[in-house]
Amino acid sequence: MSDATEHIAAWEAAGLIDRETADRLRAASESEVRKTPATGTSAHPRSAAAALFGPSVTISEVFAYLGGAFLVAAWTSFMSRSDGPNGDPGVVLGAMALLAAGVLGVFGLRLMDGGERASRASGVAFLLVSTYVATAAAAFGNVAGLDWPALGVITSAAGLATAIALRVVHPAVLTQVGVLAWLSGLGVSALALLQVTLFPEDLSPDTGLPASTGPDPLLLVVATAAFWLATAVGIALVGLREARIADRDADAGAGRRAAISRFWAGIVAVLGLSQAISRSTFTNGEYGRVVEPWIGDLALVVLSAVLVERAFRRDATSFIYAAALGLMIALTDFNLTYLSGSTEVALLIEGLILLAVGVVADRLRRRIGRGDAPKPDASDVEPAPPGAEPLPAVNVDPSQPSGSRPAV
């Protein structure tokens, strides 16, 4: 009999509580005890970020992954040394990449239902499958005479299509990462293709630096920023859909996929906007930033504020990390452009920036979700019997839904 049950029995025997109250307390105590192993609580709880990828890695897993990495590296090296007819490696390289993708795909399918750690290994195998398929597409595209950025679009599209198919077969965090990674890669190559087609640049005969010969470079900055922000919104909508599935079906795996999708959306928004506002070109006899640095930094600060608002609105700490990155990039750029007159001053200010951003981000992360739980009315709370010891509290991590096994 547990300590809590003993206390309840003693209270009842002493006449401090009636039988009905004792039964309610025993039922509540047993319910909390049953929750403890399901939520994986311990004296040293894992962070929410670590919990996204399932249980901790064992020593046997470490050696298994290391051995697998050497095998993959050996096959990849062998692929790079293989020559086809007339010394053209394209067709042979593509065929060998497809062979590796097929073997890893079968391996991943066999591991899917073997438990949490086997499921994680399946996700790793599926990530390699999409990579090898993209490699094969690049090899065949090279044989067909495609150049960058068209070759990048074909390669990324093949990797994305494979990743989506594997995500349907095995809904997990790692397969979700594969989809998001190849979607981002497709965005990079598609944007490069659009820039080459619609905004061509030539080298200046005087300086050898790129000079725009098309529309105003400011238009390219705005278009690039809009492209990446729209991509980030699309990824965030994917995260919202996963979150709704998690709420509707009590699906812990969907909740983890929602978290990684929101994190990815925030990072894409911050890095995409940062890349757009830092664009430089050769205009009016000078090479410099198209947008004034302080204007770009202000745009990043506004984006970070929006991400913080979304974090509290959606109760998602994933957006806080992206907001912290955006604020750090903006303040660092402002420091290096306007404040630092020497290396020592630059390092001092940068250190203060990092410390301040880290403290603020941690404070905001801790505040998310605190105000959502309704506080009980004082009239609804039954006072504890005089001299009674309180029931032991169970520390449940709200980021870890109970009664589920993570798919990674």
Residues 92 and 147 reside in one and the same domain: yes
Residues 270 and 310 reside in one and the same domain: yes
> Tell me, what's the pLDDT at 117?
82
Residue 254 scores a pLDDT above 50: yes
pLDDT > 90 in the chain, percent: 21
Q: Is 68 domain-assigned?
A: no
pLDDT digits (tens, 9 = 90+) for 115-155: 778 888 888 999 999 999 999 998 888 888 888 888 989 99
Residues 129 and 268 reside in one and the same domain: no
pLDDT digits (tens, 9 = 90+) for 371-391: 433 344 443 444 444 444 444
Q: How are beta strands 280-283 and 286-289 bridged, if at all? A: antiparallel
pLDDT > 70 in the chain, percent: 74
Using the Cα atoms of residue 34, residue 35, residue 40 and residue 43 in order, give the sign of their dihedral: negative
Tell me if 405 sits within 8 A of 43, measured CB to CB: no
Other residues' Cβ atoms within 10 Å of the Cβ of residue 36: 14
Residues 320 and 263 reside in one and the same domain: yes
| pTM of the complete model | 0.71
Instruction: Measure Cα distances from 188 to 120, 155, 182, 220 in Å.
Output: 28, 12, 10, 15
Residues 108 and 129 reside in one and the same domain: yes
Residues 217 and 177 reside in one and the same domain: no
Residue 262 scores a pLDDT above 50: yes
Q: Is 277 domain-assigned?
A: yes
Alpha carbons 132 and 145: distance in angstroms, whole number: 20
Alpha carbons 170 and 110: distance in angstroms, whole number: 11
Contacts of 207 (CB under 8 A, 6+ apart): 282, 287
Residue 290 scores a pLDDT above 90: no
Label residue 390 left, alpha or beta by phi (over 0 means left) and psi (-120 to 50 means alpha): beta
Instruction: Measure Cα distances from 137 to 1, 134, 175, 176, 369 in Å.
Output: 64, 5, 20, 21, 45
> Tell me, what's the pLDDT at 345?
73
- The tokens for 195 are 């820039």
pLDDT digits (tens, 9 = 90+) for 320-375: 888 889 888 888 888 888 876 666 777 788 788 888 888 877 888 788 755 433 34
Q: Is 95 domain-assigned?
A: yes
Residues 216 and 349 reside in one and the same domain: yes
pLDDT digits (tens, 9 = 90+) for 51-69: 666 667 788 888 888 998 9
> Tell me, what's the pLDDT at 373?
38
Residues 149 and 225 reside in one and the same domain: no
Q: Is 203 domain-assigned?
A: no
Domain of residue 142: give its range.
Answer: 82-198
- Interhelix angle for 217-249 vs 293-314, to 10°? 10
* Count: domains in the chain: 2
Residues 237 and 128 reside in one and the same domain: no
> Tell me, what's the pLDDT at 404?
44
Residue 313 scores a pLDDT above 60: yes
Mean pLDDT of 15-23: 78
Alpha carbons 267 and 110: distance in angstroms, whole number: 33
Q: Is 353 domain-assigned?
A: yes
Which of 178, 198, 218 delimits the end of a domain? 198
Mean pLDDT of 270-299: 82
Residues 282 and 156 reside in one and the same domain: no
Residues 173 and 260 reside in one and the same domain: no
Residues 214 and 358 reside in one and the same domain: yes
Q: Is 230 domain-assigned?
A: yes
Alpha carbons 291 and 103: distance in angstroms, whole number: 50
Q: Is 400 domain-assigned?
A: no
Tell me if 227 sits within 8 A of 272, measured CB to CB: yes
Q: Report which of residues 210 and 153 the model is more confident about.
A: 153
pLDDT level of residue 229 (50, 70, 90 thresholds):
very high
Q: Report which of residues 47 and 273 the model is more confident about.
A: 273
Q: Is 137 domain-assigned?
A: yes
Contacts of 385 (CB under 8 A, 6+ apart): 11, 16, 17
